[in-house]
Amino acid sequence: MPEFTTIEQMEEVTAKLKERAVAAGAETWEDRTKTQTPHCKFGEDGICCKNCSMGPCRISPKGQRGICGADAHAIAGRNYLRSIAAGTASHSDHAREILHVLHSTRRDGPYQVRDEAKLLRLAAEYGVKTEGRDIYDVAHEVAEVGLMEFGKPEGYQIFTKRAPKERQDLWAKEGIMPRAIDREIATSLHMTHMGNTADAEALVRQGLRTGLSNGWGGSMIGTEITDILFGTPIERKTEGNLGVLERDMVNVVVHGHDPAFSEMVVTATEVKELQDLAKTKGAKGINVVGLCCTANEVSMRHGVRMAGNFLQQENVILTGVCDMMCVDVQCIFPALPKLADCFHTKFVTSSPIARIPGAIHVEFEVEKAFDQAKDLVKMAIDAYTKRDPNKVFIPDGKQSAIVGYPCEIIINKLDGVTNSHIDELGSYRPAVDAIKAGVLRGAVGIVGCNNPRVRPDYSHFEIMKELLKNDILIVATGCAAQLATKAGLNNKESKWVCGDGLRRVCDLVDIPPILHMGACVDISRILLLVAGIARDWGVNMTQLPIVGVAPEWMSEKAVSIANYVISSGIDVYLGIEPQVKGSSQMMELITQGTRKITGAGFVINTDPKQLVKSIIDGIEAKRTALGI
């Protein structure tokens, strides 16, 4: 029986690293959390407004309205919609960057098309002619059509056609069919400007539409184009946790979300000349590992090992063996350059979107990217020679994992069981049959971040174990997927924690009980998975015993994601309260009101044990309603 890495073991390591931080005179998120708590109650409840300079205004017993007359519902609703807009902008702008890389591809260029079949399928979907054309001409036109999804003056997101007809009709009827991505973001900012919408329901509806422009727009584009450029992931073995850092090697850590540059960094570390250079400096070689969603991306495509998730980013530097941390965009602590200064670590930013004082900035340029990456690896090799042996502490914990389960691989695995491949889309029927028969009770997508408001990774871990025990299959992305990796939950040996039914399915299909589907943009893969299951079952997405869970979410991207998931008819269980508590109307709207619009809503509970119970109850209620 293989052993998990428990949360207590992870906490022990963090405590030891914290001692190192104190010795090095470095500050970490634990220190800063202390200085920020208790949090400002007005902000926490979402009833502080600074949308104009008459304010800031806040709602209190003394003042039930801001100077302009906006009440708690308007203020909390506007703040909430602004979060969704920011989250949508982040995921989608990342997708836009990737589209520009696709637009720059050439046969002899630094970036090429790796998945031609996927490009051709997308070209057909986009109405781009392919016959007799050079694949790179097709790629460029596909990129242009994709870029138009951001600003086209008329029409809706093309990928909404991938959703079941029932959803498309509902979105049209409810007026939440997403238009151009930038338009939904701009409309959200416009609606929330001083003197515009004060009606909470209207704000929530625009939140649903803006979320949809992310899920069935920006994020889905990001996933598709990343697959075309760097290959659709396949099952790969990897490892996770701080033990993937190597004492005798040059450690280069890639961190962030957009894999365009980190792909080049990974390739650069494999160059023989650089490997040799590392050896002349006394290292055994170069070890590239990842953090956050960049780690998910490169691990699914190269098996690159994962040093950890969001709240582990400082721990990586505290080991004293991080020779370089190279970041791109999103979820990067601005605290890192100062922390790196306490060690020998070179901290490099690469995107104009994420500039941080104190960092070495090497702005990613498509044409020069490989040379830039090679220069950085040389810099990392040089830094290796400057390590302070007294500051080195590598916790030895790491776990093996299997990652890389996009829909294509899941279908392939199912196909291997029953040979039920019915058309080029494949079929989820074996999974449907297993759920109908009750061998599997249902499926849950566990996604999202860490958040100092709760014990890091504890909720992920407890909820995952309980669901597996109850024969509920898990698909995971983002930092939740990385917890599964660190803990040793997403490898085939971890089946012993599962109930009998799930264990049988895992054996038969030859999969781990937690399927790592990628980064947070790849939650678009989960949408397609659920849509595919609904299609093969012949029911609506809302009816399926499938739900989403974000036990430890923190980012605005997560708010956007939650909105496209409920718009898709899938209930979302949250372990952290959205910042709207100061408005009874907003609380009612997000937990109940959206159910009347999309058929789904939030269930919020900050106690992981109660949350997982409500998830299981929710799944069982869906089964009962289906008569299974």
Say whether residue 51 binds ligand SF4 (CB under 6 A): yes
CB of 90 to ligand SF4, least distance (A): 24
Q: Which is nearer to ligand SF4, 57 or 505 (CB)?
A: 57
Comparison of 48 and 468: residue with beta carbon closer to ligand SF4: 48
Binding mask 256-275 for ligand BF8 (x = CB under 6 A): -x------------------
Residue 152, classed as helix, strand or coil, is coil
Does the protein bind ligand SF4 through residue 603 (CB under 6 A)?
Answer: no
Cα-trace Rg, the chain:
24
Q: Write 613-620 long-range contacts (CB < 8 A, 24+).
A: 614/573, 615/444, 615/463, 615/467, 615/547, 615/549, 615/573, 616/441, 616/466, 616/467, 616/470, 616/472, 618/547, 618/571, 618/573, 619/441, 619/442, 619/444, 619/472, 619/545, 619/546, 619/547, 620/441, 620/545
Q: Which is nearer to ligand BF8, 212 or 479 (CB)?
A: 479
Which among 287, 293, 240 has a CA at the least distance from the CA of 266? 287
Q: How far is the CB of 199 from ligand BF8 (least distance, A)?
A: 29
Cα–Cα distance, 607 to 261 (Å, whole number): 39
Per rule CB under 6 A, is residue 255 in the interface with ligand BF8?
no
Interacting residues of 201 by C-beta distance below 8 A, sequence separation 6+: 585, 589, 593
CB of 448 vs ligand SF4, minimal distance in Å: 30
List the x/- string, 128-167, binding to ligand BF8 by CB under 6 A: ----------------------------------------
Question: Toward ligand SF4, which CB reaches closer, 72 or 292?
Answer: 72
DSSP string, 536-599: HHTS-GGGSSEEEEETT--SHHHHHHHHHHHHTT--EEESS--TTTT-HHHHHIIIIIHHHHHS
> Exactly one of 46, 66, 218, 456 binds ligand SF4 (CB under 6 A); which one?
66
What does 70 bind: ligand BF8, ligand SF4, none (CB cut-off 5 to 8 Å by kind)? ligand SF4
Task: Write out the DSSP string of 42-105.
Answer: HHHTT-EE-SSTT--EE--SS-SB-TT--BHHHHHHHHHHHHHHHHHHHHHHHHHHHHHHHHT-
Site for ligand BF8, residues 458 to 497, rule: CB under 6 A: 478-479
Q: Which stretch binds ligand BF8 (CB under 6 A): 165-173, 271-279, 454-462, 554-562?
A: 554-562
Residue 195 CB, shortest distance to ligand BF8, in Å, is 32
Confirm or reject binding of residue 555 to ligand BF8 (CB under 6 A). Answer: yes
- Tell me the CA distances in angstroms from 42 to 46, 50, 62, 80, 203, one per residue in order: 6, 12, 13, 14, 20
What is the smallest separation between the CB atom of 556 and ligand BF8, expressed in angstroms?
9
The identity of residue 56, as a single letter, is: P
The entry of ligand SF4, ligand BF8, none near residue 51 (CB within 5 to 8 angstroms by kind) is: ligand SF4
> Which residue is listed with tokens 């299951």?
533
Could you say whether residue 54 binds ligand SF4 (CB under 6 A)? yes
Candidate residues 163, 265, 449, 511; the one interacting with ligand BF8 per rule CB under 6 A:
449
| 349 binds ligand BF8, rule: CB under 6 A | no
Size of the site for ligand BF8 (CB under 6 A): 15
Question: Residue 340 and residue 326: Cα distance in Å, rounded?
Answer: 12
Kindly report the length of the chain. Answer: 628
Cα angle 583-445-596, degrees, rounded to a multiple of 5:
40
Residue type, 509: V
Q: Is 88 in the site for ligand SF4 (CB under 6 A)?
A: no
Our finding on whether 67 is near ligand SF4 (CB under 6 A) is yes
Tokens of 8: 């207590």
Find the shortest distance in angstroms from Cβ 197 to ligand SF4: 11
- Residue type for position 275: Q
Distance, CA of 149 to CA of 155 (rounded, Å)? 9
Closest CB 523 distance from ligand BF8, rounded Å = 9
Binding map of ligand BF8 across residues 309-348, x = CB under 6 A, - = no contact: xx--------------------x-----------------
The answer to whether 571 touches 620, Cβ cutoff 8 Å, is: no
Closest CA to 526 of 163, 240, 78, 204: 163
Check if the beta carbon of residue 140 is closer than 8 Å to that of residue 104: no
520 scored as a contact of ligand BF8 (CB under 6 A): yes
Q: What is the per-residue binding string for ligand SF4 in 189-208, x denoting contact by CB under 6 A? A: -----x--------------
Residue 233 is given by DSSP the state -
By CB under 6 A, tell whether 564 contacts ligand BF8: no
State which residue, 26 or 57, has the beta carbon closest to ligand SF4. Answer: 57
Select from 2, 56, 175, 416 the one that contacts ligand SF4 (CB under 6 A): 56
Q: Which stretch binds ligand SF4 (CB under 6 A): 63-71, 92-100, 255-263, 297-305?
A: 63-71
CB-CB neighbours of 246 under 10 Å:
17
Distance from C-alpha of 10 to C-alpha of 8, rounded to nearest angstrom: 5
446 makes contact with ligand BF8 (CB under 6 A): no
Which whole-number Å values give the CA distances from 38 to 32, 453, 576, 587, in the listed order? 12, 10, 16, 22
Q: What is the 3-state secondary structure (H, E, C) of 176-222?
A: CCCCCHHHHHHHHHHHCCCCCCCCHHHHHHHHHHHHHHHHHHHHHHH
CB of 75: closest distance to ligand SF4 in angstroms?
6
Joined tokens for residue 436? 């109908």
What track of x and - describes contact with ligand SF4 for positions 383 through 402 (by CB under 6 A)? --------------------
Q: Shortest approach of ligand BF8 to residue 204 CB, angstroms?
A: 22
Residue 450: CB minimum distance to ligand BF8, A:
6
In the bound complex, what is the minimum distance in angstroms from residue 521's beta carbon to ligand BF8?
Answer: 7
Q: Is 287 helix (H, G, I), strand (E, B) or coil?
A: strand
Q: Is 292 in the site for ligand BF8 (CB under 6 A)?
A: yes
**CA dihedral (119, 121, 124, 126) positive or negative:** negative
49 binds, among ligand BF8, ligand SF4, none (CB under 5 to 8 A by kind): ligand SF4
Q: Which one of ligand SF4, ligand BF8, none interacts with residue 96, CB within 5 to 8 A by kind?
A: none
d(CA 230, CA 221): 14
> Which CB atom, from 233 or from 582, has the smaller least distance to ligand BF8?
233
Regarding 71 and contact with ligand SF4 (CB under 6 A), the answer is no
Binding positions for ligand SF4, rule: CB under 6 A: 49-52, 54-57, 66-68, 70, 75, 194
Binding positions for ligand BF8, rule: CB under 6 A: 257, 292-293, 309-310, 331, 448-449, 478-479, 519-520, 555, 557-558
